[in-house]
Amino acid sequence: MEENMCKRSLPFVMLVGITLLVAGPTDVNAQLGETTSFLAHVSNQYRVIPNVTYHIASNQENKLDLYVPRGATGPTPVLMYIHGGGWVGGTKESSVLRILPYLEMGWAVANVEYRLGAVARAPAAVEDGLCALRWVIRNSGQYNLDTSRIVTTGNSAGGHLALTTGMIPASAGLDRECPGNEELSVAAIINWYGITEVGDLLDGPNTKSYAVEWMGSLENRFEIAERVSPMTYVRAGLPPTLTIHGDADPTVPYQHAVMLHEKLDELGIPNELHTVPGGRHGGFNQEQTLAIFETIRRFLSQHGLGAGLTTAQ
């Protein structure tokens, strides 16, 4: 067996990905040569299967892009990334840079899209996250994926969906339209400044237009909000959860992270809150972002999820 090939490239791969995440337009142009080299590296190390339909709903084919390490000798851990955009915007394509550090770690990655608010109101996006997870589990044999090491992650609304995908039990009935009957479970959740109490954003001082738009004018919108809120499903036995949140976030209140962290602590569920002092809604600087990914690597390792790609000589 040889050393993890992706791990050897940490200084190059991680720094290029993070530099592009936090850089301005001029800096990005300066990085063009390195970016081209990085994309060649990804192409050499990964097989990319784009636009796989995992579920059809509301007359829309919901798709994901799958990145599978080449040359793996055993089942590969899987990261499910779900993009942000307030449930009403965003695309999987616009979020590609956010998965680069996980490719560096040697993981398979499923980059997931879902129904936005203009296509279907809540709880559609939550249902789609569960259907994407079931697709990964159902097709794990074909792509050599390790279903015992699935991690969900996302930013903002995607952080919320990473939480609901990893937390919602079958008894909630939100996976009934998903093809198959495989049991849904994940090994860990990485939540980047996600919403944890949706109803808090529909009324009062924390009202947010994106949440109101996602719910629409339904009379039972507060009931639906509770049904799609991660806080509703906090209970014993949940997977380890890491939350990353800036304490000056104007878009998703930092208190959402604190509330989740305290409740998980109360129930003895392994979890960690990585606070970015003065951090707003993403847009963290390079030093902060590097520190976050070091925390992620440590967190995954602590919970037996640190190893990624292993290849044959």
pLDDT recorded at residue 9:
39
The residue-averaged pLDDT of 172-177 equals: 97
Task: Confirm whether 108 is domain-assigned.
Answer: yes
Q: Which amino acid is at 90?
A: G
Handedness of CA 61, 153, 93, 47 (dihedral sign): negative
Identify the burial level of 14 via C-beta atoms within 10 angstroms of its C-beta, where 0-12 means exposed, 13-18 middle and 19 or more buried.
Answer: buried
pLDDT of 281 higher than 80: yes
pLDDT recorded at residue 72:
86
pLDDT of 278 higher than 50: yes
How far CA 178 is from CA of 31, 56, 136, 174, in Å, comes to: 42, 9, 12, 9
pLDDT of 5 higher than 80: no
- Can you give the CATH number for the domain in which 263 is found? 3.40.50.1820
Tell me the residue range of the domain where 293 lies.
5-302
The answer to whether 137 and 108 are in contact (CB under 8 A) is: no
pLDDT recorded at residue 49:
96
pLDDT recorded at residue 73:
85
Q: Number of folded domains in the chain?
A: 1
Task: Confirm whether 312 is domain-assigned.
Answer: no
The residue-averaged pLDDT of 279-283 equals: 97
pLDDT of 27 higher than 70: no
The answer to whether 32 and 307 are in contact (CB under 8 A) is: no
Comparing CA positions, the residue from 205, 280, 208, 274 lying closest to residue 241 is 274
Task: Confirm whether 307 is domain-assigned.
Answer: no
pLDDT of 158 higher than 80: yes
Task: Confirm whether 293 is domain-assigned.
Answer: yes
Task: Confirm whether 308 is domain-assigned.
Answer: no
Task: Confirm whether 134 is domain-assigned.
Answer: yes
Task: Confirm whether 99 is domain-assigned.
Answer: yes
Least confident of 70-74, 127-131, 166-170: 70-74
Structure tokens at 36: 């081209």
Structure tokens at 268: 């003895």
Comparing CA positions, the residue from 110, 76, 100, 98 lying closest to residue 10 is 100
Task: Confirm whether 313 is domain-assigned.
Answer: no
* pLDDT tens for each residue of 56-105: 999 999 999 999 999 888 999 999 999 999 999 999 999 888 999 999 88
Least confident of 22-26, 35-39, 64-68, 124-128: 22-26
pLDDT recorded at residue 82:
99
Query: Average model confidence (pLDDT) for the chain?
Result: 89
The residue-averaged pLDDT of 97-114 equals: 94
Q: Which amino acid is at 116?
A: L
Prior bond of 230 cis (ω within 30°): no
